[in-house]
Amino acid sequence: MKSLIKKILNPLNLYKAYRLAKSKKHNKANNDLELLLYSKIISTDMLHYGYFEDINIDVESISIKDLEIAQMNYIDLIIDQINDFKKPVLDVGAGMGGLSNALFEKKINIHALTPDINQKKYIESKYPKIKLYNMKFEDFTTTNKYGTVINSESLQYIKLDTAFKNVNEILDSEGIWIITDYFRINSKGLNKSGHMYSDFINEVKINGWKIIFEKDITLNSLPTIKYGKFFVDRFVKPSLEFGEQKLKFKFPELNFFLEDSIKKIKSKFEKELTALDSEKFLKEKKYMIFVISKK
């Protein structure tokens, strides 16, 4: 307890804490530890919502294996859309390299791109033969012309006008752009992640592109969301509540200093959980697979 107080009152430590807090905003996009955690739970190296054939599957019966099968079903949907296996393919926002590796195993000339440092290290270690670019897509330039560009749950992090401009520059005239992501259909929704669906459709028209394939897989992704909510309610929340009560009982003086911080963390945690509310998701978003072409 004394050492904690000394650390707090030390001006040098306060300055260090300030610097860490200031740098946190810049490090988030390039050091996504949540995705690294998910990759250690799901062995497929996939970090997306997956595709469940049985949309009415009982949530409590879902196993890790079921989640992994859903992840691979999702990958198969993407691969089925590729029509040119000779020209290189760019996987934008490659995550832990699962999709890139699946394409690599099919003898496709795949290039992966991620701005995340942990993902870069992971891909280089596990999939060293895959060509990898460690940067934001906004900063990516190349003389290559890709036959296919894929944004698998990564378009939401890129401004639409920038995405269309950059893909237009690197995509072959006969190429296709495969986009799988969730889009907002309610501008007043609580969860603001994802582009507005209407904005995306409008951007397609403005840039003279054409949608050659689209599929709504919202219902097929819901079991993953429902399972996430079930897991948090059944295991995560009770564990956190136990830890909080343990802190109050064993270290009341430390709890006194941390009480306000704990409340803020709990509030942020509850806000983040809105992403796991399947009913809100249905009202506010739709999960789509698009294939668009400049031709």
For residue 131, what pLDDT is reported? 96
Residue 157 lies in a domain: yes
Residue 1 lies in a domain: no
Residue 152 lies in a domain: yes
For residue 240, what pLDDT is reported? 80
Burial class (CB in 10 A: 0-12, 13-18, 19+), 118: middle
Portion of the chain with pLDDT greater than 70, in percent: 82
Q: What domain range is 110 assigned to?
A: 59-220+284-293
For residue 192, what pLDDT is reported? 75
For residue 29, what pLDDT is reported? 47
For residue 248, what pLDDT is reported? 85
With a CB cutoff of 8 Å and minimum separation 6, the contacts of 5 are none
For residue 30, what pLDDT is reported? 47
Tell me how many domains the chain contains.
1
Portion of the chain with pLDDT greater than 90, in percent: 57
Q: Is the pLDDT of residue 215 over 60?
A: yes
Alpha helix (H) residue ranges in 81-236: 98-105, 117-126, 160-170, 197-206, 218-231
CATH, residue 100: 3.40.50.150
Residue given tokens 């904690």 in the structure block:
4
Mean pLDDT score, 266-271: 74
Nearest of 31, 180, 153 to residue 94 by alpha carbon:
153
Residue 155 lies in a domain: yes
* Confidence label for 270 from pLDDT (cuts 50, 70 and 90): confident
Nearest of 250, 259, 180 to residue 221 by alpha carbon:
180
pLDDT tens-digit series, residues 1-24: 445 444 444 555 544 555 555 555
pLDDT tens-digit series, residues 146-193: 999 999 999 999 999 999 999 999 999 999 999 999 999 987 766 778
For residue 14, what pLDDT is reported? 45
* Confidence label for 44 from pLDDT (cuts 50, 70 and 90): low
Q: What is the DSSP string of 181-197?
A: EEEES-TT-S---S-BH
- Residues paired with 113 in a beta bridge: 92, 133
For residue 75, what pLDDT is reported? 94
Residue 229 lies in a domain: no
Looking at this protein, which amino acid is placed at residue 256? F
Residue 120 lies in a domain: yes
Rounded to whole angstroms, the Cα distance separating 167 from 149 reads 7
Rounded to whole angstroms, the Cα distance separating 45 from 128 reads 15
- 283, 222 Cβ separation under 8 angstroms: no
Residue 202 lies in a domain: yes
User: Model-level pTM?
Assistant: 0.81
* Confidence label for 263 from pLDDT (cuts 50, 70 and 90): confident
For residue 39, what pLDDT is reported? 55
Nearest of 278, 268, 267 to residue 227 by alpha carbon:
278
- 47, 38 Cβ separation under 8 angstroms: yes
Residue 6 lies in a domain: no
Q: Is the pLDDT of residue 276 over 50?
A: yes
